[in-house]
Amino acid sequence: MKAWQAYRLRLHRRRWRLRALRKRRELTTVVDRTRAIRPADILVFTTLRNENMRLPHFLDYYRRMGVGHFLMVDNGSNDGGAEYLAAQEDVSLWRSDASYKRARFGVDWLNWLARRHGHGHWCLTVDPDELLVYPFCDTRPLKALTDWLDASSIRSFGAMLLDLYPKGTIGAQPYERGGDPLEIACWFDPGNYSLSRNETFGNLWIQGGPRARMFFAQEPWRAPALNKIPLVKWDRRYAYVSSTHMLLPRGLNLVYDEWGGEKTSGLLLHTKFLDGFGAKAREELQRRQHYAASAEYKAYAAGLEADPELWCRWSEKYINWRQLEELGLMSRGNWT
């Protein structure tokens, strides 16, 4: 990398960090329990809006994995989710009624919180509909992974977004609050992902899955990005650039091997396509608070009017991480 290029990226990073500093004023504290954070705790960072249905399962899922504390930003929920979160002993909650879009889809808020509370911790930044799967997650807690990453001097861990969907139309099976969304949305596309390098930031750009083939078949370049780097040993100098797709400094984006080997990686099981998704897509379309002029939600709304089924005869039913690894979607790398 040329010196001037490095310098430009440094300026870039500084800009996002200053922006996070400015945007912190949009956050008001609801409950701050961050004093309870112990030095070795793994932290979860989340922004959400009207996700009350999913919250109990979400918290349980990550508690069982051994997460120590949740730092959450509520962007104007009115479904009782905020009250529920405020009552949880391991949650610190902030509220913002400002624009999600102008906080760069929540990234500014989370960059600030991570800078303030995440320094020196393993930080997992996920949405309420994203469930992390990593090698051996059925037998080893998340701490085993982060200890190993520490011992291997690895600072960031990649986990591609894997869209899950039900068999039949999206709204056909109702989801009960607290239930396991993976019991309904348990199908995924096993082998239709395309990837290329982003030369500026060094990250991969991955597209594909059901959203690409159902909603973006004619304009695939607009299909949503699936590459994610959600788990990072945070340092106050770091910053997410665009969602959790990429970070700076750019060495953190190198979660893939370029010389033939496989690095260790996981997946974020994305359970967005559950009952209630259609209504949410229409609401989000009206709010116009999403990426690329809400192109994604426009496409969904258009597709969902016709009530499409994402399932096809080559969809694979989710069993466990070993199946995902066998299919080539994630890898143990040399962690055994």
Partner 1 sequence: MSFGVVILVHTALGRAAQVIRHWARSGCPVVVHVDAAMKPARYARFRAQFDDLSDQVLFCERHRCEWGGWGIVAATRSGAALLLERFPDLGHVYLASGACVPLRPVAELDAYLRDRPGTDFIESARVAHVPWTVGGLSEERFTLRFPFSWKRQRWLFDRYVALQRRLGVRRRLPEGLEPHIGSQWWCLSAATLRAILSDPQRPALDRYFRRVWIPDESYFQSLARRWSGRIESRSLTMCKFDFQGKPHLFYDDHLPLLRRSDCFVARKIWPRAEAIYAQMEAGGHPAGVAEPAPARIDRVFAEATERRVRGRAGLYMQSRLPHEGWENGFTAAPYGVLEGFAELYEGFGPWFAKASGATVHGHVFAPEGAEFEDGAPIWRGALAAAPELRDHNAQRFLTNLIWNGRAGRQVFQFGPRDSQFVSWDIAKDPNARIGVISGAWAVPLFASGLPVARLKDEAARLQRVEADHLEALRSPHAKARVRVWTLAEFLETPDEALARILADIAPGRTGPLPAPPALRPLEGFGRFLQEMRNQGMHPYLTGDVPAEPPAPRQPAPRPYIVRPHG
- What residues make contact with partner 1 under the rule CB under 8 A? 136, 139-141, 143-144, 147-148, 151-152, 158-160, 189-197, 204, 206-207, 210, 212-213, 216-221, 227, 255-265, 312-315, 328-336
Among residues 165, 327, 149, which one has the least CA distance to residue 233? 149
Work out how close the CB of 58 gets to partner 1 at its nearest, in angstroms, rounded to a whole number: 23
Work out how close the CB of 315 gets to partner 1 at its nearest, in angstroms, rounded to a whole number: 6
Q: Which residue number, 1 or 151, has a Cβ lying nearer to partner 1?
A: 151
CB atoms within 10 A of CB 212: 21
Q: Which residue number, 40 or 293, has a Cβ lying nearer to partner 1?
A: 40
Contact (CB, 8 A) for 127 and 256: no
Q: Which residue number, 174 or 328, has a Cβ lying nearer to partner 1?
A: 328
Q: Which residue number, 92 or 243, has a Cβ lying nearer to partner 1?
A: 243
Work out how close the CB of 244 gets to partner 1 at its nearest, in angstroms, rounded to a whole number: 13
Beta bridge mates, 316: 188
Burial class of residue 307 (count of CB atoms within 10 Å of its CB; 0-12, 13-18, 19+): exposed
How far from the centroid of its chain's Cα atoms is residue 156's Cα?
14
Give CA–CA dist 251/1, Å, rounded: 11
42-48 and 69-74 strand pairing? parallel
Burial class of residue 12 (count of CB atoms within 10 Å of its CB; 0-12, 13-18, 19+): middle
Q: Which residue number, 70 or 187, has a Cβ lying nearer to partner 1?
A: 187
Among residues 107, 123, 142, 95, which one has the least CA distance to residue 37? 123
Q: Which residue number, 77 or 156, has a Cβ lying nearer to partner 1?
A: 156
Work out how close the CB of 195 gets to partner 1 at its nearest, in angstroms, rounded to a whole number: 6
Phi-psi region of 59 (alpha: psi -120 to 50; beta: other; left: phi over 0): alpha
Work out how close the CB of 168 gets to partner 1 at its nearest, in angstroms, rounded to a whole number: 16
Work out how close the CB of 49 gets to partner 1 at its nearest, in angstroms, rounded to a whole number: 28
